[in-house]
Homo-oligomer: A and B are copies of this chain.
Amino acid sequence: MHPLVPRDGNGLVLALDVGGTDIKVALQDGSGTLHGLRRLSTPRDARRPGDVVVEEVARLLADYQEQAGSVPVRSIGLVVPGLVDEVSGVGILSTNLGWRNYPFSRNVEEATGLPVAFGHDVGLAGEAEMRLGAGRGLRDAVVMVIGTGIAGALFCDGRRVHGGGFAGEIGHAPVAGGIPCACGASGCLETVASAGAIARRYTELTGVPVSGAREVLAAAAAGNTDAARIWNEAVEALAAVVASITAVLGSEAVIFGGGLSQAGSALLDPVARLVDSRLSFHRRPRLLSSVLGQDAGLTGAALRARDLLAATA
């Protein structure tokens, strides 16, 4: 673990990004630097799925406070997946982690005695990207995180769109094709265009197992026509949804994060060409890669925890 070196007198905030597999946790100092970034397995208990997370947060706070010595940890930023009510601080639903209407803010505040900023993982990752990353200075942008699935955050007129907790579900925007999705619908974007779908569909088509979408892209680049077909279908589906969303929202940019965005221009260039061919008088969205990468969620949690201090100062 890195030494903890707070830079100024604003104190520390503890940031936690709870995922389906791991919890990422770090302290952030007043300069915005993350300290002591760790990754731990997400605790699971089918009977008490929220409580075990809250207990882990309290334990981690004690750990980090001990290491920070006399510099106080003053607030906590916590982000989780699923449907989230950020105003009331409730995790409405995580099918993966199992909670339903769990009052995270209240319970973490009771367990730790600190004020808690609570939010949606991709939503706050998007906020961080807009405030400190590829979206700096933009008012109208879409952040898309493409990994096992596809999730997003929408920013319009300088504000994130909440839609009662339902906004941003870009992975479940309908596209042509009609492949059944785990969500129960058919033809969701992420059945064709997520990194997971690209790998899975290539294996289904060819019988050849691959480690991930990156291998499919490499095969396509080497002339494998099956790989090229799967890759191109993903690109076309992404372009259709990006063109549709940005045409309607007037977005200035789309910022790609998650594993698939590491493909860089091999992904962004063909998507940009197709998007461009579908638009006319519209704003042309710039397609950008995430700057904050995997730490975006943690940084977003920390920013919100710090906002809380500023608001109550």
Contact = CB atoms under 8 A, between A and B. Distances in A.
Interface string A147-181: 00000101011010111111111101110100001
Contact of A280 (B183, B241, B245, B252): B183
B280 A184 contact: yes
A248 B282 contact: no
B184 A249 contact: no
Interface string A241-264: 101110111111000000000000
A218 interface: no
A184 B276 CA distance: 12
A240 interface: yes
A13 to B, nearest CB: 26
A248 B170 contact: yes
A279 interface: yes
B184 A152 contact: no
Contact of A244 (B163, B165, B244, B280): B244
Contacts of A161: 156-157, 161, 249-250
Contact of A164 (B140, B152, B159, B172): B140
A169 B252 contact: no
A19 interface: no
Contacts of A181: 280
B248 A154 contact: yes
Contacts of A133: none
Nearest to A167: B250
Contacts of A172: 247, 279-282
A278 interface: yes
Contacts of A176: 176
Interface of A: 83, 139-140, 152, 154, 156-157, 159, 161-170, 172-174, 176, 181, 183-187, 240-241, 243-245, 247-252, 278-283
